[in-house]
Amino acid sequence: MSDEQEFEPRIIYFLCSWCGSGGGETAAAHHLHYPENVRPSRVNCTGALPAVHIIRPLIEGADGVVISGCYPGDCHYNDGNFRARRRVALVKSILDTLGLEPERVWFRYVAHGEGQRFVDTATEFNDHIKKLGPNPLKTRSDT
Amino acid sequence: MNDKGAILPAENGVEAAVVGWLKEALNKKVFDALLMPVQVPAGDSFAYLLLQNPALLENGSPLPPVMPVQGARAISRLTMRGNGSKRIAAVVRPCEARAAIELTKLEQAHLDNLWLITVDCPGVLPLSDYLDDPAAGAARFVEASQHWDRAPMRPVCQICHRFSMPASDLHVGTLGSADGAVFVIPGSPKGERVLESMDMPVDAALDDWAAQVKEMEEAQTERRQQAHADLRAGIAGPDGLLDVFSDCINCHNCQRVCPVCYCRQCYFESAALKLPPENYLTRSKRKGALRFPPDTLLFHIGRASHMILSCVSCGACEDACPMSIPVAQVFRLLADRAQETFGYVAGKSLDDPLPLVAYEMDEFHQVEQPYVEIYHKREVQDA
Amino acid sequence: MPEGLKINKGAQEAVRELLCSLLESGRVNGVLALGRTRGANGGVAYSLFTDSDAFVADGAALPFLPFMPANAGGLLSRLTLKGSLAGPVAAVVKPCELRAFIELVKRSQGSLDNLLLISSTCGGVYPLDVGANGGLEERLPRYWEAVKQGEVDSDVRPVCRACVHFVPENADITVALVGEEDLDTQCTLFLDTEKGAAFVKGLEGLQGTSLSGELETEPIQRSHSQRAAYREELFAGVEVGMQELIRTFGRCIGCHACKTVCPICYCSLCYFDSQDCEYLPEIYESELERKGGLRLPPNTVFFQLGRLAHVSVSCVGCGMCTDVCPADIPVSTIFSKVGTSVQALFDYQPGKDVTEEIPLMTFEEEELAQVAT
């Protein structure tokens, strides 16, 4: 086994309660698999996900954070996903300016019926993080 | 509105001219009260005073050498719960006016009965430099500001490119004031009415002043970009970043003095981050040790995510830091980048909606992760 | 006579080895102590250590560094606020930090369970601005020389020079430092409590001879008198009266940093930050009518007097407030002075006895007759 495969990333996958989680359920219904180390975490709407909750896992032990919710126009709360997109843009700007690897944060729409897309996202992100390696911030004791 | 101004004679200097003009305005009941910096009784600092009594203007200064309290905080305290019946003129630095505009958008201030009056700004001294010897500090400030020499000023004042304020109700243009006169430039109908009631015709051409402002803005913008590039090189990455914050003692002064940080109880002091001892021990075991109190870096990055879109680069945070961390410089770098990404300038206009409140359907596609059609790790075997 | 343990190693080395052994043996799950943060600046912060590597010779831990980036009493409160420790954790703290923690425990803001409290006789700490940017290193030789002679380096916090409570109360283990001339080669640990003794007895890697000794040696008593004299002088220098207070706090910018770093100020939302102090415009206008001028933000002196009313009875004179003030106001001198008189009035010593009630939470039927007219 190569070094790359020995590193098992800790990944948080934020899913909105509607399309995001729906995608997960559809995947389950079709018996599709995704890596165990990708941990789903449900939020009511991606627009309700505070910026701090994307940042905090990256300091405390996560190697990557991926966020999925409804497509533009489909948000159960009308515009939550638009706000989420802006918030993710803000967080990425901060991470980029501070040299903290904004590529460890992904934002991708997943619809209720897109089970394959859901598992593909989880798997692809997992492979992506494996290539990036462990998050250097998470082992710092002086944060 | 900004291409003509009124002339204010200033043979005895800008301070005397502005104070005289404000006194006249008070006496003529153009305003009911003024909010401006006044020297404190011990003579070792300045504080914002809401005053009605013209005699109190004796020790007043429109451009004091220091900014102990960010003027927007004073304005917000006063107007948080609405405007009263008194018409109040607030004499503040451009960055304080911009912060007041941001706070109004955030519903923490109300400007209906308040006039923002600004003056071309040479910066302010770092508070600790001034407090070492206030008299010497005051002299140093006067000398430097006369030549627009920003070297003794706060680091973020040194790279400020928004030192002249087109969006206040009245702006005193002093750059290159020749013939012992300065311009009073209205920025709103409210401002125009004030000049009318003081019989100050708005008919002087501003070309000369405007050209000088533009020249200085360009030079400052260049300095700013260089400073940001240098700073970023030093702090990018976990090592550089944690070096900068290695002295941080979590006093949260930066958050407390920041005009934009208005939360009564900051998230980073709330119960959300107060956890059972098992949590701290687990985190410590994972990392080998846990800096205590924890969440130092989270506080700074998190606070940045909350306020940099409204950051006006005043530098109050850095002045207040007891460990001399260049907080304002770091936050200013983050703010410039973020505001640029959103095409937003904090405090420029009340009509610009806050970037996290507004949105377009069709934008920021660069943030959306494109999909790889059916992502398989392993090759599909041929049937 | 308290039981002690004499170790034939320098104090720094001996204590580091003690902590290392406590962790390695599993007798404690963690140690709260000062340590180096990573940084070219040489930043220092308290850290909760679980890896014994921190305590080897060149490790990150710096247990007795004369520096206080935060009052550890407040940190112990943070650690145990949401629940007592399930397993033992050691903490190396200064006497005033320990007293502050006791005061917090009385206010239900922490728990003493499973804490092994290690303290020392204290020679004071340097102000924060000395420690910023790595300024401590060059001062240490002078500092430790003074400590050995039973003296206090004149550059430490003024309230440290004036501190008469530099012998810890309520510690489980006290390390003798002040007045110990052979600090570099020998170290005496006083095992003040049974708990302290139990943690140390039979600890592998810890070699020392038992002794009975007095913590309050002659150098300590001498130091006490010197500090008491300086204390009087320091307090006498505070200018009192309303006009003088206005002058002193004239520079105050209302940042409330003094409150944030104060270990006793534990309120999640301070009264002076609450809605009660967010006034309607009519209030500002009527005050303006009355006085002709009104400082904004308001309540500069009111905040100071109010905070005094809230905390002076428990003020332990640690000096964090002065250090953090951006306007160079000697807050801790004033608060210590008032604190001392208030505590004398109630015959109360903060941090001395965890079972002793806070004066404002209790009363006698017959007392303080001088108050009622």
Q: What CATH number does the domain located at A11-129 have?
A: 3.40.50
Q: Cβ(B8)–Cβ(B22) under 8 Å?
A: no
**Spatial separation of the C-alpha atoms in residues B145 and B122, rounded to whole Å:** 5
3-state secondary structure of B280: helix
Residue the block writes with tokens 């809605």: C275
What pLDDT does A86 receive? Answer: 96
What pLDDT does B56 receive? Answer: 92
How does pLDDT run across B82-101, given as a tens digit for each residue? 999 999 999 999 999 999 99
Suggest the residue from B333, B369, B376, B377 to mutate for an interface test with chain A (most A CBs closer than 10 A). B369
Query: Is there a single domain that holds both residue C89 and residue C199?
Result: yes
Strand B289-292 to strand C173-175: parallel, antiparallel, or no bridges (unpaired)?
unpaired
* Beta bridge partners of residue A68, listed in sequence order: A15, A108
**Spatial separation of the C-alpha atoms in residues B212 and B223, rounded to whole Å:** 17
Suggest the residue from A97, A106, A117 to mutate for an interface test with chain B (most B CBs closer than 10 A). A97
Query: Among residues C183, C208, C234, which one ends one of the domains?
Result: C234
Query: Is there a single domain that holds both residue C112 and residue C155?
Result: yes
What pLDDT does B7 receive? Answer: 93
**A124: which chain B residues are within 8 Å (Cβ-Cβ)?**
372, 375
Residues 6+ apart with CB under 8 A from C202: none
Average pLDDT over residues A85-96: 96
What pLDDT does B178 receive? Answer: 61
What pLDDT does A1 receive? Answer: 45
CB-based burial of residue B244 (10 Å sphere; 0-12 exposed, 13-18 middle, 19+ buried)? buried
ipTM summary value: 0.93
What pLDDT does C40 receive? Answer: 57
Residue A4 has pLDDT above 60, yes or no: no
Output the average pLDDT for chain B: 93
What pLDDT does C3 receive? Answer: 87
User: What is the residue type of C335?
Assistant: F
- Subunits with 3+ Cβ pairs within 8 Å of C are A, B
What pLDDT does B167 receive? Answer: 83
Locate C372 and state its tokens. 């009622």
Using a pLDDT cut of 90, give the percent of chain C over it: 84
CB-based contact, B92 to chain C, within 8 Å: no
User: What is the residue type of B135?
Assistant: A
Residue C150 has pLDDT above 80, yes or no: yes
Give the Cβ contact number of residue B203 at 10 Å.
Answer: 9
What pLDDT does B254 receive? Answer: 97
What pLDDT does C372 receive? Answer: 82
Residue B10 has pLDDT above 60, yes or no: yes
What pLDDT does B383 receive? Answer: 37
CB-based contact, A140 to chain C, within 8 Å: yes
CB-based contact, A100 to chain B, within 8 Å: yes
The model carries a pTM of 0.94
Q: Cβ(C90)–Cβ(C61) under 8 Å?
A: no
**C39: which chain A residues are within 8 Å (Cβ-Cβ)?**
142
- Show me where the domains of chain B are located: 4-208, 248-350
Residue B314: name the closest of B302, B298, B331 by CA: B331
Q: What string of DSSP letters covers C128-174?
A: HHHHGGG-SGGGHHHHHHHHHTT---TTS-HHHHT-S--S-SS-SEE
What pLDDT does B379 receive? Answer: 46
**What's the gap in Å between the CA of A7 and the closest CA on chain B?**
16
- Subunits with 3+ Cβ pairs within 8 Å of B are A, C
Query: Is there a single domain that holds both residue C214 and residue C294?
Result: no
Query: Is there a single domain that holds both residue C249 and residue C220?
Result: no
Query: Is there a single domain that holds both residue C49 and residue C27?
Result: yes
Split into its structural domains, chain C has a count of: 2
**Spatial separation of the C-alpha atoms in residues B117 and B94, rounded to whole Å:** 9
Query: Is there a single domain that holds both residue C37 and residue C166?
Result: yes
Nearest CA in chain B to C293: B51
3-state helix, strand, coil in chain C (%, to 5): 45, 10, 45
How does pLDDT run across C77-122, given as a tens digit for each residue? 999 999 999 999 999 999 999 999 999 999 999 999 999 999 999 9
Locate C352 and state its tokens. 């001395």
Range of the domain at C311: 239-371
Query: Among residues C204, C234, C264, which one ends one of the domains?
Result: C234
Residue C266 has pLDDT above 50, yes or no: yes
Residue the block writes with tokens 């119960």: B271
- Sheet containing strand B181-186, edge to edge, reads B204-205, B4-9, B181-186, B170-173, B114-119, B88-92, B33-39, B46-51, C293-296
What pLDDT does B381 receive? Answer: 46
Average pLDDT over residues C19-38: 93
Average pLDDT over residues B288-302: 95
Runs of H (alpha helix) within B116-174? 127-132, 134-146, 155-158
Query: Is there a single domain that holds both residue C128 and residue C243?
Result: no
Rounded-to-10 torsion of CA A46, A50, A52, A58: -10
Q: How far apart are the first and last CA of chain A?
A: 33
Residue A2 has pLDDT above 60, yes or no: no
* Beta bridge partners of residue B92, listed in sequence order: B118
CB-based contact, A139 to chain C, within 8 Å: no
Residue B304 has pLDDT above 60, yes or no: yes
Task: Give a three-class secondary structure readout of chain A.
Answer: CCHHHHCCCCEEEEEECCHHHHHHHHHHHCCCCCCCCEEEEEECCHHHCCCHHHHHHHHHCCCEEEEEECCCCCCCCCCHHHHHHHHHHHHHHHHHHCCCCHHHEEEEECCCCCHHHHHHHHHHHHHHHHHHCCCHHHHCCCC
**What's the gap in Å between the CA of B188 and the closest CA on chain A?**
32
Residue A96 has pLDDT above 80, yes or no: yes
Output the average pLDDT for chain C: 93
User: What is the residue type of C69?
Assistant: P
**What's the gap in Å between the CA of C72 and the closest CA on chain B?**
9
Residue the block writes with tokens 């010197």: C226
What pLDDT does A3 receive? Answer: 53
Q: Band the pLDDT of B382: cuts 50, 70, 90.
A: very low
Using a pLDDT cut of 70, give the percent of chain A over it: 97
Q: Band the pLDDT of C57: cuts 50, 70, 90.
A: confident
Query: Is there a single domain that holds both residue C206 and residue C244?
Result: no
Query: Among residues C185, C203, C234, which one ends one of the domains?
Result: C234
What pLDDT does B374 receive? Answer: 76
How does pLDDT run across B178-189, given as a tens digit for each residue? 668 999 999 999
Q: Band the pLDDT of C370: cuts 50, 70, 90.
A: confident
CB-based contact, B84 to chain C, within 8 Å: yes
Q: How far is CA B350 from the centre of its chain?
A: 15
CB-based contact, A88 to chain B, within 8 Å: yes
How does pLDDT run across C197-213, given as a tens digit for each residue? 999 988 887 778 888 87
What pLDDT does B376 receive? Answer: 66
Residue A51: name the closest of B304, B236, B297 by CA: B304
